[in-house]
Each structure stands twice: as structure tokens, then as C-alpha cells.
């Protein structure tokens, strides 16, 4: 299963991000969405898992969106939450994939049998951080993440 992971759009869904997510069977948005239209565009590609970020808290339309989600992909238990600081209180035994956003810094890190994935920011460029999304190949026996750069600008 091909899964697209995006975060920190902050109201900007780039054409490059939409192109990178084409062909995904699921899309995960790790918060700081910015506009409801972004979710509509992503849902037009594939079923969507989404949490709200700290910047979404003040937006009335985002009140219906969860702060965190737990779900399964091809047998892998997933925790989705915007801020890595919230992970310790939410982490459950058996969780194999933790997806966060917030920092705008892309991360693919295995800690033992658990994968921590932050796709970075796909929205407005912040400081000199890259503008990225992630694609995750989810197989019954493997998780294969990769980052996709959306801008050809050196970090």
C-alpha cells in the first residue's frame, strides 16, 4: 500500500505536493492544515487520516478534527499526532509507526522496531528548512519510507 504523508501546509497546498501524492491509496496529514479546502483536495486523491495542529486550534472549522489518531495500516499500529512532545503520553505498546509534524524538519528514524516519521513541511518555506512530503510503502512485513523534496532550492 502506498501512503502519502504530508504536514504543516499552513494554508498552502503546492501543485508539487499534489503530484507527489498521486497514486497513494491513503493520505495522512499531520496537522497545521490552515484551510479546509486542503483536506478536500487531498480527499479527492485518497481516503484521509488527519489531525489538527497547534495553528488549527483557533480555526472554527477544525474543531471537528481530532488531536491524535490511532489506526492500522496493513497490520501496522499507527499513532498520528502533530507535536512530538505529545507522543510519550499517547504511545501504546504495539505502536510500530509514529507520525508527527510541527517541527517542519523531516525525520525518518527507526528506534528499535518503531518508525518515527515526520514528513517535514509542505507549506510555506520556513527559515532554510526543506519543503517536503513523505511516501511510505506499507507491506505486511516492512515499512519503506522516503522523503520527496518539493522545491529545488538548496537548504
Kindly report, residue by residue over 110-130, the tens digit of the pLDDT. Answer: 999 999 999 999 999 888 899
Residue 121 to residue 100: CA distance in whole angstroms: 11
Q: Looking at the domain assignment, is residue 155 inside a domain?
A: no
* Of the candidates 123, 23, 14, 143, the residue with the CA atom closest to the CA atom of residue 74: 143
Strands 142-149 and 132-139, bridge-based pairing: antiparallel
Domain of 50?
Answer: 2-149
pLDDT of residue 88: 96
Q: What is the mean pLDDT of residues 33-54?
A: 98
Mean pLDDT, the chain, whole residue set: 95
Q: Looking at the domain assignment, is residue 97 inside a domain?
A: yes
Q: Looking at the domain assignment, is residue 131 inside a domain?
A: yes
Q: Looking at the domain assignment, is residue 79 inside a domain?
A: yes
Q: Looking at the domain assignment, is residue 87 inside a domain?
A: yes
- Which phi and psi angles does 57 have, rounded to 5°? -60, -35
Higher pLDDT, 132 or 155: 132
Give yes or no for a contact between 123 and 10, defined as CB atoms under 8 angstroms apart: yes
Regarding pTM above 0.85, the answer is yes
Residue 47 to residue 107: CA distance in whole angstroms: 24
Q: Looking at the domain assignment, is residue 68 inside a domain?
A: yes
Q: What is the mean pLDDT of residues 42-71?
A: 97
Residue 98 to residue 111: CA distance in whole angstroms: 11
Give yes or no for a contact between 148 and 20, defined as CB atoms under 8 angstroms apart: yes
Q: Looking at the domain assignment, is residue 37 inside a domain?
A: yes
Confidence of residue 63 (pLDDT cuts 50, 70, 90): very high
Give yes or no for a contact between 7 and 78, defined as CB atoms under 8 angstroms apart: no
* CATH code (residue 111): 3.60.21.10
Q: How many domains, in total, are found in the chain?
A: 1
Residue 33 has pLDDT above 80, yes or no: yes
Amino acid at each position: 500500500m502506498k501512503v502519502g504523508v504530508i504536514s504543516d501546509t499552513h494554508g498552502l497546498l503546492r501543485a508539487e505536493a499534489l503530484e507527489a501524492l498521486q497514486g497513494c491509496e491513503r493520505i495522512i496529514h499531520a496537522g497545521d492544515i490552515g484551510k479546509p479546502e486542503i483536506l478536500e483536495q487531498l480527499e479527492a486523491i485518497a481516503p484521509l487520516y488527519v489531525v489538527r495542529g497547534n495553528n488549527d486550534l483557533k480555526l472554527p472549522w477544525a474543531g471537528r478534527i481530532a488531536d491524535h489518531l490511532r489506526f492500522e495500516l496493513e497490520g501496522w499500529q499507527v499513532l498520528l499526532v502533530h507535536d512530538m512532545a505529545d507522543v510519550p503520553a499517547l504511545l501504546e505498546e504495539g505502536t510500530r509507526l509514529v507520525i508527527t509534524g510541527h517541527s517542519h524538519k523531516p525525520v525518518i528514524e527507526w528506534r528499535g522496531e518503531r518508525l518515527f516519521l515526520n514528513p517535514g513541511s509542505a507549506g510555506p518555506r520556513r527559515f532554510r528548512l526543506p519543503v517536503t512530503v513523505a511516501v511510505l510503502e506499507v507491506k505486511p512485513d516492512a515499512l519503506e519510507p522516503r522523503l520527496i523534496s518539493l522545491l529545488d532550492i538548496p537548504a
